[in-house]
Amino acid sequence: MQNKGLVKLFALLFGLVSIYQLSFTFKANQLEKEAKQFAQSNYTDNAEINAAELRYLDSLNNKEVYNIGISQFTYSEVKDNAMNLGLDLKGGINAIIEISVKDILKGLANNSKDPIFNQALEKAEELQKDSQDSYLESFYEAFDEIKGDTKLASPDIFANRNLSDDINFNMSDDEVKSIISRKVDESIVSAFEVLRNRIDGFGVTSPNIQRLGDGGRILIELPGAKDKKRVVDIITKTAQLQFWETYTTQDLAGFLLQVNQRLVEAQKTDDTSEDTTNEQDEAAEETDSTSSVIDDLTGQIESDSTAVQDNLNPLGIQSLGQGGPVIGVFLAKDKQAVLDKLNANRDLLPVEQRYARFAWGKPADKDSEFVELYGLKSNRDDVPQLSGGVIVDARQDYDPRNRPAVSMQMDSKGAKIWEAMTKVANETRGNIAIVLDNIVYSAPGVTTPGGISGGNSQISGSFTLEEATDLANVLRAGKLPASAEIVQADEVGPSLGQEAIDSGMLSFGLALVFVLLWMIFYYGKAGGFADVALLFNILLIFGVLSGLGAVLTLPGIAGIVLTIGISVDANVLIFERIREELAKGKDQKLAIKDGFSNALSSILDANITTGLTAIILFVFGTGPIKGFATTLIIGILTSLFTAIFITRLLIDWYVGRGGKLDFSTAITKGFLQNININFLKKRKIAYVISAILITAGIASLFTNKLDAGIDFVGGRTYQVRFAQEVSTEEVAKTLNDPAVFGSAEVKTIGNDNELKISTKYKVDDNSTEADEEVQRKLYDALLTYLPDGITYQEFLDGSGDANIGKRLSSKVSPTIADDIQKSSVWAILGSLVVVFLYILIRFKRWQFSLGAVAAVFHDVLIVLGIFSLTWKFMPFSMEIDQAFIAAILTVIGYSLNDTVVVFDRIREFVNEHSNWSLGKTINASVNSTLSRTLNTSLTTLVVLLAMFFLGADSLRGFLFALIVGVVVGTYSSVFIATPIMYDTAKKGDAAESLKKKVVEDEVEA
Domain boundary residue among 171, 202, 236?
236
Q: What is the pLDDT of residue 429?
A: 81
Q: What is the pLDDT of residue 237?
A: 63
Q: In this prediction, what percent of the chain has a pLDDT beyond 90?
A: 10
CA 222 vs. chain centroid, Å, equals 6
Residues 555 and 431 in one domain: no
Residues 724 and 835 in one domain: no
Tell me if 805 sits within 8 A of 786, measured CB to CB: yes
CATH number at residue 559: 1.20.1640.10
Confidence of residue 304 (pLDDT cuts 50, 70, 90): very low
Tell me if 715 sits within 8 A of 741, measured CB to CB: no
Q: In this prediction, what percent of the chain has a pLDDT beyond 70?
A: 79
478 or 54, greater pLDDT: 54
Amino acid at 474: V
* Strand-pair partners of 732: none
DSSP string spanning 339-364? HHHHHHTGGGS-GGGTT-EEEEEPPS
CA 822 vs. chain centroid, Å, equals 18
Is the sign of the CA dihedral 778, 782, 783, 786 positive or negative?
A: negative
Question: Element (H or E) spanning 552, and its range?
Answer: strand 551-552
Residues 637 and 759 in one domain: no
Residues 765 and 860 in one domain: no
Domain boundary residue among 186, 203, 236?
236
Inter-CA distances, 352 with 70, 340, 378, Å: 65, 21, 11
- What would the mean pLDDT of 630-647 be, rounded to a whole number? 87
User: E strands, 316-416, where?
Assistant: 319-320, 326-331, 357-361, 370-376, 386-387, 391-398, 404-410
Does residue 906 surpass a pLDDT of 50?
yes
Does residue 44 surpass a pLDDT of 80?
no
Q: What is the pLDDT of residue 803?
A: 66
For 763-815, how does the pLDDT look when each residue is reduced to its tens digit (9 = 90+)? 777 677 888 888 889 988 998 888 887 888 888 777 556 567 776 666 655 54
886 or 594, greater pLDDT: 594
For 418-438, how does the pLDDT look when each residue is reduced to its tens digit (9 = 90+)? 888 888 888 888 888 888 778
- What would the mean pLDDT of 990-998 be, rounded to a whole number? 47
DSSP string spanning 226-253? --HHHHHHHHH----EEEEEB--HHHHH
Residues 264 and 403 in one domain: yes
Three-state SS string across 648-666, please?
A: HHHHHHHHHCCCCCCCCCC
How far is residue 817's CA from residue 828's CA, in Å, rounded to a whole number? 17
Tell me if 895 sits within 8 A of 967, measured CB to CB: no
Whether residue 485 is contained in a domain is answered as no
Whether residue 108 is contained in a domain is answered as yes
Q: What is the pLDDT of residue 861?
A: 93
What residue numbers bound the domain in which 601 lies? Answer: 498-666+677-701+819-994
Residues 205 and 169 in one domain: yes
Please, where are the H alpha helices in 584-727? Answer: 588-620, 624-641, 647-656, 683-703, 710-713
Mean pLDDT of the chain: 79
SS3 content of the chain, % helix, strand, coil (to 5): 60, 15, 25
Other CB atoms within 10 Å distance of the CB of residue 435:
28
For 822-854, how does the pLDDT look when each residue is reduced to its tens digit (9 = 90+)? 666 777 787 778 878 888 888 878 888 899 889
Q: What is the pLDDT of residue 750?
A: 54
Whether residue 708 is contained in a domain is answered as no
- What would the mean pLDDT of 623-638 be, rounded to a whole number? 77
For 568-616, how does the pLDDT look when each residue is reduced to its tens digit (9 = 90+)? 888 888 888 888 888 888 888 898 888 888 888 888 887 888 788 778 7
Residues 69 and 104 in one domain: no
Residues 305 and 436 in one domain: yes
Does residue 634 surpass a pLDDT of 80?
yes
Q: Coil, helix or strand for 372?
A: strand
Amino acid at 662: D
Other CB atoms within 10 Å distance of the CB of residue 428:
11
Whether residue 206 is contained in a domain is answered as yes
How far is residue 58's CA from residue 681's CA, in Å, rounded to a whole number? 69
| CA-based nearest residue to 548, from 621, 630, 607 | 630
Tell me if 757 sits within 8 A of 723, measured CB to CB: no
- What would the mean pLDDT of 617-636 be, rounded to a whole number? 74
How far is residue 397's CA from residue 160's CA, in Å, rounded to a whole number? 42
DSSP string spanning 476-511? HH---SS-EEEEEEEEE--TT-HHHHHHHHHHHHHH
Q: What dihedral angle (degrees, nearest 10) is formed by the CA atoms of 412, 414, 415, 416?
A: 90
Whether residue 709 is contained in a domain is answered as no
Whether residue 114 is contained in a domain is answered as yes
Inter-CA distances, 321 with 307, 325, 330, Å: 18, 8, 11
pTM of the model: 0.60
How far is residue 507's CA from residue 520's CA, in Å, rounded to a whole number? 20
How far is residue 339's CA from residue 790's CA, in Å, rounded to a whole number? 47
Residues 433 and 326 in one domain: yes
364 or 700, greater pLDDT: 700
For 117-148, how does the pLDDT look when each residue is reduced to its tens digit (9 = 90+)? 999 998 988 887 666 577 888 899 899 989 88
Residues 851 and 914 in one domain: yes
Whether residue 908 is contained in a domain is answered as yes
Work out the end-to-end distance of the chain between its first and last CA atoms, rounded to an integer number of angstroms.
Answer: 41
For 261-303, how does the pLDDT look when each residue is reduced to its tens digit (9 = 90+)? 999 888 877 666 544 444 444 444 444 444 444 445 444 444 4
CATH number at residue 769: 3.30.70
- How many distinct structural domains can be found in the chain? 5
Domain boundary residue among 473, 508, 533?
473
| CA-based nearest residue to 465, from 408, 407, 399, 403 | 403
Q: Coil, helix or strand for 139?
A: helix
Q: What is the pLDDT of residue 696?
A: 94
Residues 399 and 514 in one domain: no
Q: What is the pLDDT of residue 303?
A: 42
Those residues whose C-beta lies under 8 Å from the C-beta of residue 684, and which sit 6 or more positions away, are none
Residues 506 and 563 in one domain: yes
Confidence of residue 692 (pLDDT cuts 50, 70, 90): very high
Inter-CA distances, 30 with 12, 63, 76, 204, 919, Å: 27, 15, 14, 19, 61
Q: What is the pLDDT of residue 479?
A: 58
Whether residue 21 is contained in a domain is answered as yes
